[in-house]
Amino acid sequence: MTHVSRFTGSTCALAIGVLIASTACAAQPAQSRRHAVAPPVAGPATPITGAVKDASNGLAVQQATVSYGDQSVRTNGIGEFVLNIPTGTPVSISVQHPAFAPFQKTVTAQNGVKLDIGLTELPSVTVKTTAGVTYTVDIGTAVFAYALPFSSYIPSDNANFCKPDGSEFTPNKLEFRKIVGPATSSTLGTCCDGPLLTASAEMKTGGTTPVFFKDSCHFTEVDFGGRDKATGLFRWVKFTDVAEIDFP
């Protein structure tokens, strides 16, 4: 009687009744093993220092925002900052300030590295005073403002005017061609129930119109301010001292 023998796990066939050592057994090919390549690991964070300057004159830029990833720091009074970035790994940092074009740079942190960053200015506003002094301020930082007693300025990118018919007129600073002063005292009952200041505004859309400073109602001080390009410091000028403001 013929028996069929089975061997669990055998890789070669057994002939019925007779064990045949088969030299034709195919060798099992070894499967190649693929090893995952780990991405480069960033080194420990290194604090790097830097200085942000106005590329046109070398003045320090205060309050510029320097960012990397979720980090964001402001430059100090002399334009310097400290930022922690991975050692030896190229990363991109960005610098922003309303007076300058945005800046981006790829840097690699190493001990002792200091960054010098020069920013490109945006267009300027020229402020001429009744005293014959001219200031050049950045359009990005230029603001209209009124001063509350015993408080700080309340600034805005938009003027807060009334037209001669009493209607509100709140154009953005980018809409002006020029404002001609100095602002003088006047009255306009449909805008203010007391004295207020008036001047003349020329718009980029064309036309010149008298404007009444709504924020100056009852002798509140109204000013124009911005970062002075000659000093890098913020400067305020009262509209009663403004001879002319020319916008870019």
pLDDT in tens, 139-172: 999 999 998 877 788 999 999 999 999 999 999 9
Q: How far apart are CA 59 and CA 142, in angstroms?
A: 18
Residue 74 lies in a domain: yes
Residue 43 is predicted with a pLDDT of 56
Residue 189 is predicted with a pLDDT of 96
Residue 207 lies in a domain: yes
Residue 31 lies in a domain: no
Cis amide linkage into residue 248, ω under 30° from 0 = no
Give this prediction's pTM: 0.75
What mean pLDDT is predicted for residues 44-49?
86
Residue 8 lies in a domain: no
More confident residue, 63 or 43: 63
The verdict on 174 and 76 lying in the same domain is no
Residue 4 lies in a domain: no
Residue 192 has pLDDT above 60, yes or no: yes
- 12-21, 54-63, 73-82, 223-232: which range is least confident on average? 12-21
Residue 144 is predicted with a pLDDT of 98
CA distances from residue 206 to 86, 170, 177 in whole angstroms, order as listed:
54, 16, 9
Residue 50 is predicted with a pLDDT of 94
- 99, 119, 139: which is the final residue of a domain? 119
| Beta strands at 143-147 and 176-187: parallel, antiparallel or unpaired | unpaired
- 28-32, 169-173, 194-198: which range is least confident on average? 28-32
For the chain, percent of residues with pLDDT exceeding 70: 83
| Beta strands at 114-119 and 45-54: parallel, antiparallel or unpaired | parallel
Averaged pLDDT of the chain = 85
The verdict on 112 and 154 lying in the same domain is no
- What is the domain range of residue 150? 124-246
The verdict on 151 and 86 lying in the same domain is no
Domain count, the chain: 2
Residue 30 lies in a domain: no
- 119, 148, 179: which is the final residue of a domain? 119
CA 209 from chain centre, in angstroms, equals 34
Residue 111 lies in a domain: yes
- Look up tokens 């010149």; give the residue: 208
- 86, 101, 119: which is the final residue of a domain? 119
Instruction: Give tens-digit pLDDT for 71-121.
Output: 999 999 999 999 998 888 899 999 999 999 999 999 988 777 789 999 999
